[in-house]
Amino acid sequence: MKNISIDEKWVFRNGYVDNLGMLRDDPGVEVNLPHDGMIGTKVQPDAPAKADSGYFVGGLTNYTKYLMIPKEWENDCVGLKFDGAMMNVTIEVNGCKVGSQHYGYAPFYVDLTDYVTFGKENRITINCNTSMYVNSRWYTGSGLYRGAILCHGPRVHAVNDGIYVKTREVADGYAFLEAEVEVANSTLENRLAEIILVIARDGSEEANCTVKRVIFIGAGKTETAHIAFNVKDPELWDAENPNLYKVKAQVKNLGVYRTHFLPQDNTEVDEAETLFGIRTITADVIRGLRINGKTVKLKGGCLHHDNGLLGAVSLYETEARKVKKLKEVGFNAIRTAHNPPSAALVEACDRLGMYIFDEAFDAWGMAKRGGDYSQFFISDWEKDLTAFVKRDRNHPSVVIWSTGNEIPERGGLDNGYELATKLAETIKKLDGTRPVSNGICSLWSGLDDELMINQSQKQNSAEGLHDTSWETITEPFTNGLDIVGYNYMEGLYERDHEMFPERVILGSENFPKEIGFRWPFVEKRTYAIGDFTWTAWDYIGEAGIGKAAYVDEDDIIAKTNGWVLMPGTGSPYPWRCANDADFDITGHMLPQGAYRSVVWGSPKTHLFSQRPETFGKKECTTMWGFPELFVSWNYAGSENKDIRLVVFSNADEVELIVNGNSVGKKPVSTEFPMPNSVKFDTVYVPGKVEAISYKDGKEVSRDTLVTTGAPAKIRLIPEKSTLKADGHDAAYIGIEILDNEGNVVPGAEIELVAEITGNAFLAGFGSGNPKTDDNYTDGETVSFKGRAMAIVRSGYEKGTVTVKICAKGVGEAHDALEII
C-alpha cells in the first residue's frame, strides 16, 4: 500500500474528547507530528511517578485532523499506520471508535475502509492516556511522538510490513535469498495475483534482479508468496560497511478464480518497498558472534527512547546524530532499552552502520509499576511482539532479538518459564535468521516469599550470587534463548561457562565505571560476545541513578556505599535525568565517554580535575555513577590548596605539567578499579595544566586545561546550515559561553533566551543539566558548565530562518538557516 505522511497540521488539546462539542469549545494548538504532549508541561514536586518520570506528570490528551479521502478511492482500502503512540490510545473516525492500542512503543495499523466517507473530509481524533500512574520506570512522553501515516491501496494489496527478505547463504560470488510477501484479498471473490519483485542497490534505479510469482488468495484472506532469488557479487552489510538494497514489490490483481481462472482487464497494481541488507549471523561459544563469517565483539550501549530536549519525539535527523556520535566514541551496537525503538532509529542504524539488540518488553504479566503494560500483557503480547518483529526483521542492523528485560517471571512465577519459551518461539517463527536473547538479572526480585526472605533486595546487587541458586532457578527461563543476557553479573561468566559450556553470554547491562577491567575479560573469551553499558546517552527519568559524592568515612553515604544517593530519597525535585551516560542529553560527551573511548583503543589523552574541596574525601558513587570530573582549571579561592587531576590514556605513561613545570611522570594504571587512568596530586595554581601521553618514550597525544577569564561573549556552533522543508528535519545549534580569549568558561551559568523567525520553530532549548526545572519548549534556559543547545525544526515551507540567542550580561549571537 502507498504510505502518505499526514504529520502536518494536527490540532492538539488536553483532555479526553468524547463529543464534537468539546472540539468546538477548545480551539487547541496546531502542531506538526511527531509531537510529544508531555515535554512542554510543567514538572511538579508532587508528581506521582517522582524521580521515575523526572517529575513530569502524564494526563489525557488528544489530536484531531480533518482528512480528505478522495472519491476515487471508494473501491480501495484505506488505513492509518502508527510507529507507536503513547499510550492507551483510541482512534476515532467521525465520532466512531475504530481502533485502540495499549502498548505505547509497538507499531500498529488501523483499517479505516469501512468507516471513512469517500469524497469528503473525515475527522480523525486520537485520544491518548498517560494518566494511569505510575505507568513506567522512566519518562515516556505522551501522544503521537512517532507520527502518523495514511495507507491507501487496491483491494488486493501487499500487507503493511508484509515484505520479508532473508539471506539463506552467501557463497561462490552469490547471495542466495528468499522473499516472503504477504498479500491481502479484501474482495468477496477468490483471486489470482502476480507478485513482481525488483531488487536494486539503495540509491540506484538499476535493477539488480527481477523475479515474480503468481499465487492464489481466497476471498477475504491473506496469502504469502514465497520467492527465491539470488544476487551476484553482493555487497554485504556490516557496521563498517553499511551496504543496503531496496526491494520493490508490485502486486497485480490478475482476476477471479472459481472452478477455473477468469482473467480480468484492470490496472490495479499495488506497490510496496523496503530496505534490506545482505548479511549472515551466527553465534556459538567457539567462534563467538559472527557477522558474515567474521567474529564481532559488541561494544554496546543501552538507549532509552527519548531524545532529551525534544522529549520522546523521534526524527531521523535526531536519531542519526545520536548514532554518529556513538560511533565516534567506539560504539558499534545499541540496545533499545527496554522497548521497540522508533523506525527512524532503526533506519539510521541501517544507513550508518550500528548493530541493534532489539528489545520488546520491560514487563510481562507481573508489574514493575502499578500502571504499566503488565495489565495488558496477556491479551496483547503476541499482537505487539508480532508487529514489532515484522517491522524490524528486514533491517540488517538488527542482529539480536530480546524478549524482555529483568522480567520478574525469571524465577518461574506467573507461568514465567512457559511464557519465556513461548515468546522466543514466536519470534523464531517470524524470523529464524537471528538469535533470541533476554536481559536477565540477579534475583533481587522474582521469587516467592520463602526464597526471597534470604535474598538481597537491592536492585541488581551482586549479593547472593556466591552459590549457584541463580543458575538453577533461571535455567528453565533460558529455554529457547540462543544468547543469554547477563545484567550486571560479569562475575558469573567463568563459573557459568563451566556449568553451561554451550551457553553464549552477553553482558546485556553493565555498570559504566567498570568498563576498564571488564572489557579485556570479554575480549579474551569467545563465549562472551559483548558488553552494553547503562547507558550510552543520558535520558529523562530514573533521575539521579548516576551520582558521585565525596564525604568523610563516617558519613551515612559512605556507610551505605552510596545506596542512600539513589532515587527516590536521593533524587529530590528537580532531579530530571539519569546522569549515568557517556553523552548528556544534548549530545556533549562526558568524562565517562572519554574513558570508554580510551579503553576501546583511542590514542587521545583526556585530562580532568576534581574540585579542591573534595581532596582527601572518600569517593562514593552509585552503581551507575562515575567519578565527578571536570574539564576545568577555574577554582578561584582555592589557590595553593591540594587538588587531584585524573588522566585517561591508552599510552604507557603520562607526564603532568603545570605552568611549564613538570609535576612528574607516572605509568598508566593497568589494574582494578580503573585501568587506563593516572592520578596526579598537586596544588591549585591558576594558569595552564597539560597532560602528555608517551608510548615507547614518544609523545602520542596531549590535553590541556586553562584558567579562563569571566564570561565575555557567546558563540553559536550550528551543526548544519540547511533544512529540508519536510517538517521532519532538525538543526542542532550548540551554544558556548566564552571569555575574551575564546575559551569556554566551565562554570558559567548564564540566563539565555532564544528567538526564532521564519518557517521553522524552536523544538528544544536547554542544557545537559541533570537537575533542572527547565521547560525545554519555552525558549528560556540557563547554560550549564558554559554550554547549552538549541534545536530548530523545519516546517513545510521554504525560506530563511534566523536564530538569535541572548545571554544576559554577556551579549547575543545570531545564525541563519536555509529551508530548501
**For residue 635, what pLDDT is reported?**
98
Mean pLDDT computed over 743-762: 97
- pLDDT at 459 exceeding the cut of 90: no
From residue 395, alpha-carbon distances to 177, 192, 317, 390, 450 in Å are: 14, 30, 18, 10, 45
Order across the sheet with 677-683: list the strands.
606-609, 642-648, 677-683
Backbone angles phi, psi at 360, to 5 degrees: -95, -50
Mean pLDDT computed over 179-198: 98
Per-residue pLDDT tens digits for 404-450:
999 999 999 999 999 999 999 999 999 999 999 999 999 999 999 99
**For residue 174, what pLDDT is reported?**
98
Would the CA dihedral through 295, 391, 531, 497 be positive or negative?
negative
Query: Could you tell me the pLDDT band of residue 265, with boundaries at 50, 70 and 90?
Result: confident
Query: In what helix (H) or strand (E) does residue 521 lie, and over which residues does it extend?
Result: helix 515-524
Question: Is residue 673 a contact partner of residue 627, using CB atoms and an 8 Å limit?
Answer: no
Quick check: helix, strand or coil at residue 801? strand
Would the CA dihedral through 9, 15, 17, 21 be positive or negative?
negative
- pLDDT at 461 exceeding the cut of 80: no
Quick check: helix, strand or coil at residue 449? helix
Per-residue pLDDT tens digits for 483-542:
999 999 999 999 999 999 999 999 999 999 999 999 999 999 999 999 999 999 999 999
**For residue 75, what pLDDT is reported?**
95
**For residue 189, what pLDDT is reported?**
97
Per-residue pLDDT tens digits for 32-62:
999 999 999 999 999 999 999 999 999 999 9
Mean pLDDT computed over 232-239: 98
Question: Is residue 113 a contact partner of residue 186, using CB atoms and an 8 Å limit?
Answer: yes
All three cell numbers of 304: 532509552
**For residue 548, what pLDDT is reported?**
96
Mean pLDDT computed over 113-126: 98
Mean pLDDT computed over 696-723: 98
Nearest partner of 239 among 170, 177, 331, judged by Cα: 331
Mean pLDDT computed over 592-614: 98
- pLDDT at 787 exceeding the cut of 80: yes
**For residue 767, what pLDDT is reported?**
98
**For residue 561, what pLDDT is reported?**
87
**For residue 466, what pLDDT is reported?**
82
- pLDDT at 239 exceeding the cut of 90: yes
pTM above 0.95, yes or no: yes
Say how far apart CA 335 and CA 355 lie, in whole Å.
9
Question: Is residue 215 a contact partner of residue 181, using CB atoms and an 8 Å limit?
Answer: no
Query: Could you tell me the pLDDT band of residue 457, with boundaries at 50, 70 and 90?
Result: confident
Say how far apart CA 229 and CA 778 lie, in whole Å.
54
Mean pLDDT computed over 788-797: 98
The secondary structure of 318-377 as a DSSP string is HHHHHHHHHHHHT--EEEETTS---HHHHHHHHHHT-EEEEE--S-SSS-SSTTSTHHHH
**For residue 605, what pLDDT is reported?**
98
Say how far apart CA 741 and CA 736 lie, in whole Å.
13
Percent share of the chain, pLDDT over 90: 96
**For residue 453, what pLDDT is reported?**
87
**For residue 654, what pLDDT is reported?**
98
Question: Is residue 189 a contact partner of residue 220, using CB atoms and an 8 Å limit?
Answer: no
Query: Could you tell me the pLDDT band of residue 129, with boundaries at 50, 70 and 90?
Result: very high
**For residue 538, what pLDDT is reported?**
98
Q: Hey, how many other C-beta atoms are within 10 angstroms of the C-beta on 304?
A: 26
**For residue 456, what pLDDT is reported?**
76
- pLDDT at 462 exceeding the cut of 90: no
